[in-house]
Structure formats: C-alpha cells, structure tokens
C-alpha cells in the first residue's frame, strides 16, 4: 500500500470517526431536549398539583404512581432492548415482537382488571375503578413499544422529541385544569393516559416502520432469551425503588411520604433527565461496537467522565443551596424536606457510573450478569431498608444513599474482566471532577451566610457556582471540560456547514 493510500485510509477513518461523534452528539442533543422538556413540564405539574390537592389525595396519587411504574416495566418486557441489542434485525423480528406485545398486554390488562379489588384492599383505599382505568396505559404502551425500539436502534431521537413534547404539554394542561375543577385523583389518571395516547399516535404518524403479517417463534425465542432477564432485572429494580415510598406511606404519615417525595423530586428530575438521555444513546452505540472491546471501553470511559462532569456540580450545588431552593419553589411549609433532598443528591450523583457500566454489560450480551448484579444490589438494599425502616423516614433515605455508593463497586466488577476497566480506574477517572465540584460546593455554601434575602443569596450562589466551576475546569485543564468544549465546537461547525 502506498503512502497516499495510507493517508487516504487515515483520513477516511478520521472523517468516519468525526461523523460518528457528531451523530451521537446530535442524537444526545435531541434526546436530552426531549427528556428535559418532558421532565420540566412534569416537574411543574407535580408542584402545581401538590399545591392544589389536599394531603389525602396527594398520598393516594403517590401510591397509584407506584402501581403505574410497575405496569410500565411489564409493558416493555425487555424485548425493546433485545431488538436494539441484536446485531441484525429485520421485519420478522419487529413484527414478531409487535404481535407478542399486543397479546401479552391484553392478558396483563385482564389480570390487573380482575385483581384491582385486591390491590385496592392492600392500599386500604377505594381505588378499584382508578386502577382499572389507569391500567389502559398497558394497552397503549404495548402498541408503542416496537416503535420506540425502532427509533432508538436507528438513533432517530428528533422524532421522540416531537412526539413526547406534544403529548406531555397537552396532558399537563388537561391535568391541571381537572385538578382545579376538583377532579382529584382523576387528574393524574387523565395526564398519564392522554400523554401515552398522544405520544403513541404521533410516533405512528412520523416513524415509517409498520408491522407486517409476519411471526416467528424462533426469532421471538432468541429475543426473549435476552429480554426476560432484563425484564426481571427491571422488575426487581422498580419494585425496590418503590417499596421505600410504600413503607413510608403505610408505616408513617402522609406528611412523611410527602417530604420524602419532594426531597427526591429535585435531584431525580436533574439526574434522570440527563441519565436517560445518555442511556438511550449509549446503549445502541455500544451495541454496534460489541465486537470491538477496546472501542466499547473507550465509549464507556468517555460516558462516565463526561456525564459525571455534568451531573456532579449540579448535585453538589443543589445540596448546598437546598434550603433556599425549597423555600423558593415549594414555600416554607416544605422546609422539612431539605435533609431528604441533600441525602438524595449524594445518592443520585453516582447514577452516571451505574448507567455506563450496566449499558456496557447489556450491549455485550451479558444479560445474565445484569440480572445477577441486580439481585446482589437489591439484596443489600433490602437488608439496609429492613434495618432502617424502624428508625424513621430519614434513615430510610440514608440506607438508599449507602446502597448507591456500594453499588458503584458492584456494577463495575464485571467490567474488570469484560473491558479490563476496574472500579479503581473508574474512581481515578472521576476524581478530578469530584475534586473541583467539592471545592465549588464549599465556596458556594460559605455564601449562604450572607445576611440578605434568601432569593438574592440563591442568585449569588448559582451564578458564583457556575463561574467557579468553569474557572476551576480551565485552571486544572479538566479533560472532560476540554472534550465537551471541542465536541460542541465541532457540532456547531457541522450544523453551519449543513445550512450552507
């Protein structure tokens, strides 16, 4: 091979690599836009509803949302991720999953419909009709599942942005109006059903895939072999996450549950928006590279360092400004949720590391490892929960934080062999960002003692925190900061070139 041909090969590789980065960044931009638009609207709706609905209704809503989250896990059934992960997918795969989902969701809805009175008795509330109506979301989401997998696999997240944004806004308006009119719990039911229905209809209009009269048990069995483990893992995870609120609601008071929920609301809003965006783009990207372990390792390292660089200062900043944030957004009557908020910030700051490690394990096809890790983590979490539940809601939150920290090491353990990327290396990768976040947090916290109105102090803290963080990033030449700056520049140039 001549020198010119070598140079051409290198240029082609660099162009391909740059285009791939731009494509991933573009999809991450749209996915984050979609997630944030949804989360912001839902965040506002939750605050408005919390102000409108009385504590009894709000407690009922919290319990119903536990039920909704569990239903959504069944709707997905792991087959969506299986379609994304599979190396080659055709209409037989898509159609087989589509028709299986329809059948499965009908059966599931009938089961829920019949057992609704028992569930109502368990909660000791008259919500049988509410459960039966709300469960229609199973049927709606079952129709949407394959379309979502198609969009994720082909990285068409701009379509997600359009569909979910419209559905979220319309359902939010209807929900708030119904709450104002005194419909109570039905405002939440309407929001969930309308959101899913509109989202599904728009996806079907703008995504070109349509089911064909094709079905293969053999293809379905291959997908189920991978997907069922993810389903069980998701069930364990969601059940584990929701059981804390269930215990607080049943063992303690509605007020305790409200403070716990509000304390988790802020950090969860920030982290899940960013994390779900990264998750939805990272998984298909890793799946396409599954035959190149070194490439997978590079992507995972980049995901951990970059996402931690974004999330860490937000969580540290929110924790040190918690008092002022709660007083401003929720008013003085919610001030008792501040300790919960601060504990949750520590818990959620590690979520990017969990996501990157678990995505790499799934993308490499090791769903068995994934399930094993979930069992280990949840066993640990339940043990700490059983111990802490006797000492009060605050200690239940502390048990969640402790589990999150220990889970960093548990989730990274398989990648010690799979990617030659152990937890010590991962800690080293995030240490520079963690250090400047802590320094920034300490300086911002010291500003809270300024004898001015809390709104003025909060404004000073936020502006100072942003400035300090970026100055420290530049001074210490933080690698993630440099990477994001260069990638953003490339993306802007790319967008300008496309407009020409």
DSSP 53: S
Helix, strand, or coil here: 75?
Answer: helix
Has residue 1 got a pLDDT over 50? no
Percent residues over pLDDT 90 in the chain: 18
Give the contacts of 1 (CB within 8 A, at least 6 positions apart): 9
How many CA atoms lie within 13 Å of 332's alpha carbon, on the beta-carbon side?
A: 1
pLDDT tens digit string along 186-242? 888 888 899 888 888 888 887 777 888 888 888 888 777 777 777 777 777 777 778
Q: Residue 447 corresponds to which tokens in the numbers above?
A: 């500003």
Helix, strand, or coil here: 151?
Answer: helix
Helices 423-446 and 479-499: crossing angle, nearest 10°?
90
Q: Which residue has the higher pLDDT, 489 or 500?
A: 489
Position 342 confidence tier, pLDDT thresholds 50, 70, 90 = very high
Q: DSSP assignment of 182-251, as one string?
A: T-THHHHHHHHHHHHHHHHHHHHHH------S---HHHHHHHHHHHHHHHHHHHHHHHHHHHHHHHHHHH
Position 14 confidence tier, pLDDT thresholds 50, 70, 90 = very low
Percent residues over pLDDT 70 in the chain: 81
Position 7 confidence tier, pLDDT thresholds 50, 70, 90 = very low
> What is the arithmetic mean of pLDDT over 158-167?
74
Position 406 confidence tier, pLDDT thresholds 50, 70, 90 = very high
3-state helix, strand, coil in the chain (%, to 5): 85, 0, 15
Position 268 confidence tier, pLDDT thresholds 50, 70, 90 = confident
- CA 48, distance to chain mean position in Å, is 22
DSSP 154: T
- Give the residue from 103, 83, 106 showing the smallest Cα distance to 152: 83
> What is the arithmetic mean of pLDDT over 260-264?
86
How many Å from the N-terminal Cα to the C-terminal Cα in the chain? 36
pLDDT the model gives residue 19: 53
- Strands of 232-295 (E only): list them: none
Burial class (CB in 10 A: 0-12, 13-18, 19+), 118: exposed
Q: Residue 387 corresponds to which tokens in the numbers above?
A: 């111990």
Give Cα separations from 385 to 238, 246, 394, 401 (angstroms).
15, 12, 11, 11
Q: Which residue has the higher pLDDT, 272 or 12?
A: 272
């Amino acid at each position: 091979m001549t020198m010119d041909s070598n140079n051409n090969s290198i240029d082609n590789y660099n162009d391909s690599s740059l285009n791939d980065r731009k494509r991933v960044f573009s999809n991450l931009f749209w996915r984050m836009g979609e997630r944030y638009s949804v989360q912001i609207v839902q965040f506002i709706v939750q605050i408005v509803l919390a102000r409108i609905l009385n504590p009894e209704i709000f407690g009922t809503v919290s319990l119903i949302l536990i039920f909704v989250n569990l239903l959504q896990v069944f709707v997905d059934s792991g087959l969506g991720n299986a379609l994304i992960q599979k190396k080659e997918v055709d209409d037989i795969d898509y159609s087989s999953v589509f028709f299986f989902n329809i059948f499965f969701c009908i059966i599931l809805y009938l089961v829920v419909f019949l057992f609704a009175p028992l569930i109502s008795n368990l909660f000791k509330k008259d919500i049988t009709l509410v459960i039966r109506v709300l469960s229609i979301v199973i049927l709606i989401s079952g129709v949407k599942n394959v379309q979502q997998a198609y969009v994720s696999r082909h990285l068409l997240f701009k379509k997600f942005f359009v569909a979910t944004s419209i559905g979220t806004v319309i359902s939010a308006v209807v929900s708030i109006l119904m709450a104002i009119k005194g419909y109570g719990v039905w405002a939440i039911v309407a929001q969930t059903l309308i959101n899913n229905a509109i989202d599904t209809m728009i996806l079907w209009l703008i995504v070109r895939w349509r089911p064909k009269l094709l079905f293969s048990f053999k293809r379905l069995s291959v997908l189920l072999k991978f997907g069922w483990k993810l389903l069980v893992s998701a069930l364990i995870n969601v059940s584990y996450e929701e059981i804390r609120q269930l215990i607080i609601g049943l063992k303690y008071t509605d007020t305790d549950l409200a403070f716990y929920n509000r304390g988790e609301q802020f950090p969860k809003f920030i982290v899940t928006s960013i994390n779900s965006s990264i998750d939805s783009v990272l998984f298909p990207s890793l799946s396409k590279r599954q035959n190149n372990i070194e490439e997978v390792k590079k992507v995972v390292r980049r995901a951990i360092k970059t996402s931690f660089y974004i999330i860490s200062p937000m969580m540290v900043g929110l924790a040190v400004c918690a008092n002022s944030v709660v007083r401003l957004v929720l008013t003085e009557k919610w001030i008792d949720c501040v300790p919960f908020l601060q504990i949750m910030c520590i818990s959620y700051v590690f979520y990017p590391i969990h996501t990157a490690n678990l995505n790499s394990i799934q993308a490499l096809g090791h769903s068995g490892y994934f399930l094993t890790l979930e069992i280990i983590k949840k066993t640990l979490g339940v043990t700490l929960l059983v111990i802490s539940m006797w000492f009060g809601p605050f200690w239940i939150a502390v048990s969640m934080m402790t589990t999150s920290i220990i889970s960093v090491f548990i989730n990274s353990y398989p990648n010690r062999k799979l990617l030659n990327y152990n937890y010590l290396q991962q800690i080293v990768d995030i240490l520079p960002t963690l250090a400047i976040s802590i320094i920034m947090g300490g300086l911002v916290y010291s500003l809270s003692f300024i004898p001015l109105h809390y709104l003025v102090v909060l404004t000073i803290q936020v502006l100072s925190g942003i400035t300090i963080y970026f100055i420290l990033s530049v001074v210490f030449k933080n690698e993630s900061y440099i990477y994001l700056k260069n990638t953003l520049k490339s993306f802007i140039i790319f967008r300008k070139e496309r407009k020409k």
